[in-house]
A and B are shown apart, each in its own frame.
Chain A
């Protein structure tokens, strides 16, 4: 399958300098990016081995001696291309704060407890339909130093590969109806409200596991579409 990756698809992203998110000011290019045609280098992408994802890497609740504290959840969905086709066998990596909003990262000094039974890292490979599934706990919101009383809405970081090096995506998955959305410059760095909502998972009652875990659905759409419109092939 040969896909094309029109540059227009990228127009929905945040501006690189987005001053309300202060760290962007000194870390964004100021000179124009150079436009070029995609070559074989851009149109191909990483391959991973069988050993890249181990059997239980998708379950963040069983990596330690005991179970982590917090609200156990299932997070699942499909990785798709721009035409809606599932992206098979692609790597999905996640990392997140614990239920208290504390990351295990040494730099995180938020005075909330670490959980000895939670690292907060996981990975999965999509199946032949592009489906992935994680078991984890719902992360907490946490404060950060961007401005007075700044808090990040609860989120799970996602890193996804896709068919080529230019379909690579790092994003964050949010939870429905978070009251912090209105105040978060990272969430709001995406200009269009309907586009921002693509980062918000939906509560998925049907796939909740009774007496065990709630479920959230998160579909991810990566760059890549047919050179000719899908309709013409039917």
Chain B
């Protein structure tokens, strides 16, 4: 959404802090795909791709790609020791069974209750839900990375989603170019400001109702 590479990387870097050794993590396309670049060397994470890979590694160097080893977006990846291949039914079997620790997704809107709207703009863009419903409904933790506002300046962190909801009440954390929010049972909490951002800016650009964590006060 018109965000520079620097900001996209700041968001990805913040998301990487949520990942721990041994976790099973699925990454969406866009900013989530930058997250592995910000992980410390000494942790071994099992990145899952819903086309049937568990244990993806880094992007291969030009010339070393394998056309039959791609992520769910169709781009070449590598595998780390301990990786496995399986069919699409099993890929989603492990997702539905709750084996994913974290899914990191992009979104069009997120509501203060944690409703995710990330798959359809009626009358404009109807690409299909792909695996977004399984991932958001079944992962233990759902983290959304997105720009805080759309290209018209409207808040994407909203009271109630105006776009069709992919999965209600599923998002646990939102990381934007302005702030980090956690969504709890009793509401949304502003927990961090991104570097160089002040509270007034966040208040001005957020439609959702939120409270401030002690760290912000």
Partners in one complex: no
> Which B residues form the contact surface with A (CB < 8 A)?
none
* Contact surface of A with B, Cβ cutoff 8 Å: none
